[in-house]
Structure 1
Amino acid sequence: MASLRLRLRQFGAELHRQVDEAFSALTPHTADGYRRFLRAHAAALFSLEQTLEHHAIERLLADWPTRRRSPALLADLQALGCAEAMPVPMLALRQVTEGWCWGAVYVLEGSRLGAQVLVRRVQKEQPAAPVSYLAHGDSAVLWPAFLRQLEAGAHQCDEQELRRGVEDAFALFLEGARGQNCPERLQDCPA
């Protein structure tokens, strides 16, 4: 049987592709694109982290406080003058289970890996841009530690709940990106 990590990756493969495509239209290497990129992430990340904390994620991940990225993202948005025009968190879930939490955290922690590439690009194109969110945490330490905890803690979870957590998390990022690609939202933050 495939590893849990591989199964989670397969569950979200198509949505992950769609998310990457939607975010590529936000062009984070421009000032406006970067603001919209962060706002799209905020809509999804704030919702996901709030939901996970409401359902006691720290019982599953003892190092959750070091993984939280909402404060870093909020600080970047404030530095860009976008905190007043924050998107409303989007999450309205029917039910959250332990399996759902593991699936959702898998997506959040995986996004940290992609952020490593983006942070270098943003710093090159916009040296003064705030990058606390993209640079948050040492993924060389956090990712392997997460995978160990995932394999130890989620192996007994219902596979459909794991899948639902992955799919819901990716769907929130997709909705956030699509929302920031709407022309009427482009003027929400100062240039």
Structure 2
Amino acid sequence: MLENTPLLGHFRTKDITIEAYITILKKFYTFFSQLEKQLEHTGIEHVLVDYIDRRKAALLIGDLKFLGQKIQMTNANVVPKISSLSESFGALYVMEGSTLGGKFISAVLQEKLNIGPESGGSFFYGYGMDTSTKWKIFCESLTTYNQKFQEDDQIISTACATFLQFRTWLENINSQDTDLSFK
């Protein structure tokens, strides 16, 4: 589970600091922006019609800028290669699934750092009250796609690869990683 990584564990133990939160946002930005860049070339927006609304990198940029951070991408490749619709759905399963813990994380951010959706916490606020509905819509789109193309193995293997690479990226808290991404 991602919440057991050293960085995200701060939310579980509620000992989050602004420095740790900024590091988390930087890590998430690097991962999500690279993943979204790969998804652009798969045609996912034609199958998942609200895909554009599901992109998260812009929220992370907004949160980091609100917190006074400058954005610069790293050269490190931290995501799996995504080149098909099935792989897109697998990767999006992880991305969309990450929004489900946002309600808890948002509450911790508000309580401990006084950060809300308009003050550096928009990424974890996610879809707000619509989170469950958006998750359900995504799952329905995924099911419809898979019923038509029967590519369970590719979807599942990409979801697993995406999750593992995301976890590895979050566990690697080498300061050089975040220094490369945000100067």
User: TM-score under structure 2 normalisation?
Assistant: 0.81
Pairing of 1:92-103 with structure 2 (within 5 A): 93=80, 96-103=83-90
Q: 2:122 aligns with which of 124, 129, 132?
A: 132
**1:163 alignment partner in structure 2:** 156
Task: Write the letter of the residue equivalent to 1:131.
Answer: G
| 1:28-85 residue CA offsets vs partner (Å, 9 max, x unmatched) | 5211110111111112111111111221210120011111111111111112222335
Pairing of 1:27-42 with structure 2 (within 5 A): 27=10, 29-42=16-29
Aligned-residue CA RMSD in angstroms? Answer: 2.5
User: TM-score under structure 1 normalisation?
Assistant: 0.77
Identity of aligned residues (%): 22
CA–CA distance in 2 between the matches of 1:187 and 1:30? 18
**2:4 alignment partner in structure 1:** 21
Q: Which has the higher contact order (CA 8 A, sep 6+)?
A: 1
Q: Is the 8 A contact 1:35 1:77 kept in 2?
A: yes
CA–CA distance in 2 between the matches of 1:145 and 1:95? 22
SS at the partner of 1:134?
Answer: helix
| Structure 1 pair 172–94 and aligned structure 2 pair: CA distance change class (3 A) | closer
Question: C-alpha displacement at 1:90, in angstroms?
Answer: 2.3
Pairing of 1:11-160 with structure 2 (within 5 A): 17=1, 19-24=2-7, 27=10, 29-88=16-75, 90-91=77-78, 93=80, 96-128=83-115, 130-137=120-127, 138-155=130-147, 156-160=149-153
Structure 1 unaligned regions, length at least 5: 1-16
Alignment: residue pair count: 172
Structure 2 unaligned regions, length at least 5: none
CA–CA distance in 2 between the matches of 1:24 and 1:91? 17
Q: Is the 8 A contact 2:61 2:71 kept in 1?
A: no
SS at the partner of 1:27?
Answer: helix
SS at the partner of 1:154?
Answer: helix
| Structure 1 pair 94–121 and aligned structure 2 pair: CA distance change class (3 A) | closer
| Structure 1 pair 162–186 and aligned structure 2 pair: CA distance change class (3 A) | closer
CA–CA distance in 1 between the matches of 2:102 and 2:50? 20
SS at the partner of 1:130?
Answer: coil
| Structure 1 pair 91–140 and aligned structure 2 pair: CA distance change class (3 A) | same
CA–CA distance in 1 between the matches of 2:112 and 2:79? 36
| 1:125-149 residue CA offsets vs partner (Å, 9 max, x unmatched) | 0114511111122202201111111
